[in-house]
Amino acid sequence: MSDSFFALIELKEWESFFNTSLDKFCFRLGGETIVEKMNENHKSGVDYIKTNQTKILTTILLEVLKHYPKWQEKYGYDEDDEKDIMPNISTINDFANLIMPKRIHILSVYSDDFPYIGYDFDCTWDDEHGLGIMMLKDKIVKIGGGDISFLNWVAEEDRDKTNNSPE
């Protein structure tokens, strides 16, 4: 996609957790918005990801763990498929073989000059839609299918709700 900005990011702590090389792991700027050049807000997002890798991943995995039992019910895999596709798990470490980072989206939607950031994962239980998480720093904004990770409206809705909340 020549109309969007892509770049590589090194996430050694994520590589360690997923026990794989993410040498070619990339981030994309803009979400649904076309972005050809990184600005200072995007750069602050990249810097935040690099310096908070473990915190971000732990926050994501704890949120997935919280939702996972209801997703097991929703997908309803039979016993034979369940043990490989969506087994019962008890810790966040059990996700190392069930999800895999695919892309990070650093949106051009900001709260106090900091970008919303979406994390897109492949997952064993939904190979069509994947898993998506929208965050603002270490706060989970929304979790769902992979598209959650790049939809501007998800970030805008949270930003507007946050900015209009009574003090």
Per-residue pLDDT, 1: 37
Least confident of 23-27, 96-100, 142-146: 23-27
DSSP secondary structure letters along 3-44? TS-EEE---HHHHHHHTS--TT-EEEEETTS---S--HHHHH
Residue ranges covered by each domain of the chain: 6-163
Least confident of 103-107, 115-119, 161-165: 161-165
Average pLDDT on 134-160 reads: 97
pTM of this prediction exceeds 0.75: yes
